[in-house]
Chain A
Amino acid sequence: MRHLLAFLLKHYFILLFILLEVFAFSLIINNNHYHNSVILNSTNHLTGSILNTFQNISEYFSLKHVNKELAEENARLHSLSEISFLKTDTNFLYKDTLYKFISARVINNSTNKRNNYMMLNKGTKHGIKADMGVICSNGIVGIVTSVSLNFCSVMSVLHENAKISAKIKKNNQLVNVVWKNIDYKIGIIEDIPTQIYIHYGDTIITSGNSFIFPEGILIGTVKNYLTKKGESMNRALIDFSTDFNNLHYVYIIDNPMKGEQLNLEEFREYE
């Protein structure tokens, strides 16, 4: 102990210098968005590969459940495929795909913070770009925010800034879905006009207005209708159809025509 004290006293100048510099750098990284993102991007690579290995191992424990989910989805897709429908018009073919789906695996996820992010094992190498939507077989998941070579990080719907353009399936009324940190299972729909009545169990789907999600992806079902006197817009609680705490495989949605759509929108604003 005495030696330690003597050592500290002898080298106090350089130790104080290191202490102050560490403090200054922590200030830089915490307070300057640019520096923060540089650090995050370079550490993404390292943490990504560690988390990937961990996920590889832990995946084995949920194989059964995932298989069941995949089988269910396969069944659903079969029911949607060509053979499931009566052919009425053989000349009409969809050659342009509006949306492309890229499957990805969740390697890191959180649901218990105010702002939740997850990491997926697809990156620029696989054609992922920022602002792509992410869904799973049960419903929407989030939006890609930043991409490195092999990984991308996704802002979950469970995020302060997430605001999903949605509609009520039965009457096509446009609403917005947000999350207010109540519970990872429960979201809120805002901006419901007061003349619209919604009931327990009404389905909420994406509106397709944002170019990020295709129309008709399931978001959740209404749980509770909240009215307040004197307000022009009502709110309602919904149960998310996605189980954010149990995500394994997701699909990243690429909209190849997004650029064209945005250009047109810009042009419109110009006029």
Chain B
Amino acid sequence: MSNVYLKYILLFVLLILFQVLVLNNIQFSGYVNPYLYVLFILLLPFETPKWLLLILAFFLGFSIDIFTKTIGMNTAASVFMAFCRPSVIYLLSPKQDFEPGIRPCIKDLGFRWFFAYSLILILLHHLVLFYIEVFRFSEFFSTLYKVTISTTFTLALVILCQYLFYNFKKI
């Protein structure tokens, strides 16, 4: 059991480091900025208590904020995303009770399920994040464009990570 906790702590740290050291330095044409760190919230097991989900999302966002000097923005977006997660899971598979051991990943639930699940949550996260960053509605469409592009990139990275780890386990 402690092995599982250790794995998630390691994932937490690695994702933050990867985000602030690598991804934050990527800025294609000023629009694209993938936020892969949300993968942590996506991958948490189904049994995670709801309060723990919010607290973890809070600390995740806050850690990113400390590095990017945007105190509060990523925090607000991550907490919102964590808040939506149970509803999105219910929306995608309303009657299904997940067996213990099944985790939200492509391997256990298939590509289509995971794709929809990630797309909705990442989109929600990016919407909140980018609109908080701009903090006004006068640049509504250019912000929306930014959200769309960044969501696509983050989603691609999330799927890519899934396949990397999937293959890893098979071998």
Contact = CB atoms under 8 A, between A and B. Distances in A.
Chain B interface SS verdict (over half): helix
A21 B136 contact: no
Interface string B41-60: 00000000011001100100
Contact of A13 (B51, B58, B73, B76): B51
Interface stretch (A29-37, A95-103, A239-247): A29-37
A92 interface: no
A34 B71 contact: no
A31 B50 CA distance: 28
B140 to A, nearest CB: 16
Given A12-B51, A20-B54, A25 B71 contact: no
B15 to A, nearest CB: 19
Interface in A6-54: 12-14, 16-17, 20-21, 23-32, 34-35, 38
Contacts of B72: 24-29, 31-32
A147 to B, nearest CB: 19
Contacts, number: 53
Contacts of B80: 17, 21
A12 B136 CA distance: 31
Interface string B129-169: 00010011000000000000000000000000000000000
B113 interface: no
Given A21-B76, A24-B75, A25-B76, A32 B70 contact: yes
B54 A32 contact: no
Interface residues of A, number: 20
B135 A38 contact: yes
B61 interface: yes
A27 B54 contact: no
Contacts of A31: 71-72
Nearest to B77: A24
B83 A28 contact: no
Contacts of B79: 17, 20-21, 24
Contacts of A17: 54, 79-80, 83
Contacts of B58: 20, 24
Contacts of B86: 13
Given A13-B51, A13-B83, A24-B79, 15 more contacts: A13-B54, A16-B51, A24-B72, A24-B75, A25-B76, A27-B65, A27-B75, A28-B71, A28-B72, A29-B72, A30-B71, A32-B71, A32-B72, A38-B135, A38-B136
- 6 A-B pairs with the lowest CB-CB distances in the bound complex, closest first: A27-B72, A28-B72, A31-B71, A24-B76, A24-B75, A17-B83
Interface of A: 12-14, 16-17, 20-21, 23-32, 34-35, 38
19 contacts: A14-B83, A17-B80, A17-B83, A20-B54, A20-B75, A20-B79, A21-B76, A21-B79, A23-B75, A24-B58, A24-B61, A25-B76, A27-B72, A27-B75, A28-B72, A30-B71, A32-B71, A32-B73, A38-B135
Interface of B: 50-51, 54-55, 58, 61, 65, 70-73, 75-76, 79-80, 83, 86, 132, 135-136
